[in-house]
Chain A
Amino acid sequence: MISLSGVAAQFTELALAVLLAPLLTGWVNQCRAWLQNRSAPPLLQPYRVLNKLFQKEVVLAYGASPLFRVAPYLIFGCLCAAAAIVPTLGTDLPLNAAADAIALVGLLALARMFIALAGMDVGTAFGTLGARREMLVGFLAEPALLMVLFTASLISNSTSLATIAATLAHKEFVIHPSLAFAGVAFTMVSLAENARIPVDNPATHLELTMIHEAMVLEYSGRHLAMIEWAASLKLFVYSCIGLVLFFPFGIASGGDWLGLVLALPALLGKLALGGALLALIEMLSAKMRIFRAPEFLGTAFLLAVLAMLVHVLLER
């Protein structure tokens, strides 16, 4: 049964995610600049960068395989699919039946695999180095993310993100101590996955410390634009997963047109707050050595396991 409001919610949601993702990145950059006492770049700067990159010509490295050329589109596609199954406005999404939280983690892993392969494809030292580091961070972050999602699934007895959001937002309000642990673990994972400061620095081009930037060094023109856009989209998707799991209040239930309209300002407000918090966390922490990253992500995994244990002890 596909309802009209569900289809509407699905399409607005996807369009919003794709269009608003650079805005979120711009907002985080702006907050960071304010906190560092710099004059901030304009809020729309990421759109200008994308526009500039789309107009530039593509320079391909000698010996680049077709994979190198299609990878940006595949990565962007994976993240669009991921954005489509994370409920942001309403919980009644037609596409939600197609993929649950585990498939979502799979989609993110697929995007990571393509970007790592593309990084290695040209054969420069930096690309390979970045790809290896990315896979190291990824394989440690993934189990922690799965455990966080499993904790939420145990609470709502479903791995579908829409059902999780509906349980947490619309049923009787219950305090879940396990979500406190899961929240800390999720924050750590999303910092690592989005190449944020304790693990990677999104603004650096210093050779020895970069992870994400090292992989995409060889890209230019519209390919680079797609990758930058996909990176913004990834940040947006992670923020929305966080909102679904920990602050789902304000999300509309099925067939509720007024709720859908009201959910939009609620979502924007929550994202603005989340972006400011992210900038604050980045300000307060120092970049770790890459060999500290396994410890950081191991801690995230253990916290997520603890969340499940606490759920079994306290909430059953």
Chain B
Amino acid sequence: MLQHHGPQLVNLLASVMLLLAFAMLSQRRIISLINLFAAQGFTLFLSTALVAWLTGQDHLYASALLTLALKVIALPWILHRLIRRLNVKWDVETLINIPTTMLIGIVLVILAFNLALPISLLAGTVTKATLGIALACVLLSFLMMITRSKAVPQVIGFLAMENGLFFAATGAVYGMPMVIEFGIALDVLVGMLILGIFFFRIRERFDSLDTRHLERLKEL
């Protein structure tokens, strides 16, 4: 039963990832944004574990566990702590209003699906159809980074983009070599810690987390 519906289930999880990417794009509140990010991580964990089970690739189990530990538990915990310390629970400001952002998001999804179609014809994996969705997730996270003005949502966008890349790797070629995966995971974790320190520096300097202040580099 599960073996038979396995690829369909992977497709379903891929759609849930895309749904969560859109939910993040339309979310105004920062706490919900972090929870959505954790949910996306959990979906990624489920789909990676499912692909591992379907194809018998044992190293994918390790990367699934890595996803669970890092993206579902560690990073959301760090982010929750950060926003509590920074005391930024209020609404997220967007540069473009949310309906317009969603419309641009739809255009990006169409673009990603069209781009991925010829590539996924070449791939021989059971998950080849999900490549378009993974690409769409990456582009949507990009869009989120561009359209938000505060530092914390931008960082969440960056982390979500990494989710999408990871998913693309699983979908197209059954995951990257273990060394690279560990390297990326470490990069993301260390990057998060550094960005956390950066938040405090930005706020200390400008009394706000709005990154538009950074465009002005000269001392006044």
Contact = CB atoms under 8 A, between A and B. Distances in A.
The answer to whether A and B belong to the same complex is: yes
Interface of A: 173-175, 177-178, 180-181, 184, 294-295, 298-299, 302-303, 305-306, 309-310, 312-315
B113 A313 contact: yes
A284 to B, nearest CB: 12
6 contacts: A175-B12, A177-B8, A177-B15, A181-B19, A313-B117, A314-B133
B12 A298 contact: no
B64 to A, nearest CB: 20
Given A177-B12, A180-B15, A313 B102 contact: no
Interface residues of B, number: 26
B113 A174 contact: no
Given A180-B12, A181-B15, A306-B109, A313 B103 contact: no
B34 interface: no
Contacts of B16: 177, 180
Given A180-B19, A315-B11, 13 more contacts: A175-B9, A175-B11, A177-B14, A177-B16, A298-B99, A298-B102, A303-B22, A305-B106, A306-B22, A310-B15, A310-B133, A314-B11, A314-B133
B205 to A, nearest CB: 34
A313 B5 contact: no
Contacts of A181: 15, 19
A299 B97 CA distance: 13
B98 interface: yes
Contacts, number: 62
Contacts of B22: 302-303, 306
B5 A175 contact: yes
B119 interface: no
Interface string B1-20: 00001001101101110110
A155 to B, nearest CB: 13
Report which residue of A302, A303, A312 has the largest number of chain B beta carbons within 10 angstroms of its beta carbon. Answer: A302
A173 B9 CA distance: 12
Nearest to B114: A313
Contact of A313 (B8, B106, B129): B129
A181 B26 CA distance: 15
Given A181-B15, A309-B109, A314-B14, A295 B8 contact: no
A314 B15 contact: yes
Interface in B71-88: none
A13 B131 CA distance: 45
A252 B14 CA distance: 32
B190 interface: no
